[in-house]
Chains A and B, each alone.
Chain A
Amino acid sequence: LAKTTQPISMDSYEGQEVNITCSHNNIATNDYITWYQQFPSQGPRFIIQGYKTKVTNEVASLFIPADRKSSTLSLPRVSLSDTAVYYCLVGDDFGNEKLTFGTGTRLTIIP
């Protein structure tokens, strides 16, 4: 499974756009990129998933460059409730059912 590297922590002010970049230099052709969010005392929650280019949903956008060696999760106009740990994961559909989490990025939103 491809290893991911992301910043340990980030701070941002309310109302700003936050971008969290994840590095996955040895991503395989069949791998997808998935982001999960975890609030204190809760289990992780799926945010967004993509394979290439750009994916957008009601919560976030995911930007993936052509070489797919990195990806950027973009959270528009963050609020205090976006304070959480964000995990970047890569994996494929071929027998790799388990999710492999790193240590994630602890995002703190400042009022």
Chain B
Amino acid sequence: GAGVSQSPRYKVAKRGQDVALRCDPISGHVSLFWYQQALGQGPEFLTYFQNEAQLDKSGLPSDRFFAERPEGSVSTLKIQRTQQEDSAVYLCASSLVFGAATDTQYFGPGTRLTVL
């Protein structure tokens, strides 16, 4: 596709449920990022992939959060045993080459997760 796509766009989960959020990056992009955006705040980094390798997961808030990109394209962010504080918009971004400040990141529309 022409841009980064994410699905679902909206997800409502009951506390304790597991959720899986999908990201389809721009074809051929090497780098893929996940960010979490709370209401009224800027996006916060969660994790970074270079092809299929997860090079940085320092932003994942707990071991309930897990991300994968097994074939170096599509990525899934999984949250186990969701809590109310997990409610946020989850953004995926991709960039053409190895991640760098000068390499433009292209963002998807995000998945809005609401945990009841």
Contacts and interface: CB of A to CB of B under 8 A. Distances in A.
Interface of A: 31-32, 34, 41-46, 49, 85, 87, 89-93, 96-104
Contacts of A104: 42
Interface string B79-106: 0000000000001110000111111111
B56 to A, nearest CB: 7
B66 to A, nearest CB: 18
Nearest to A90: B101
A85 B107 CA distance: 15
Given A44-B43, A46-B104, 7 more contacts: A46-B105, A92-B100, A92-B101, A93-B103, A97-B99, A99-B45, A99-B93
19 contacts: A43-B4, A43-B91, A43-B109, A45-B107, A46-B105, A49-B102, A91-B101, A96-B101, A97-B31, A97-B33, A97-B48, A97-B56, A97-B100, A98-B56, A98-B99, A99-B35, A99-B93, A99-B105, A103-B41
Contacts of B42: 85, 87, 101-104
Most chain-A CB neighbours within 10 Å: which of B33, B42, B91?
A: B42
B18 interface: no
Given A43-B4, A43-B110, A101 B44 contact: yes
Contacts, number: 73
Interface residues of B, number: 30
B40 interface: yes
Secondary structure call for the A interface: loop
Contacts of B35: 99, 101
A32 B102 CA distance: 7
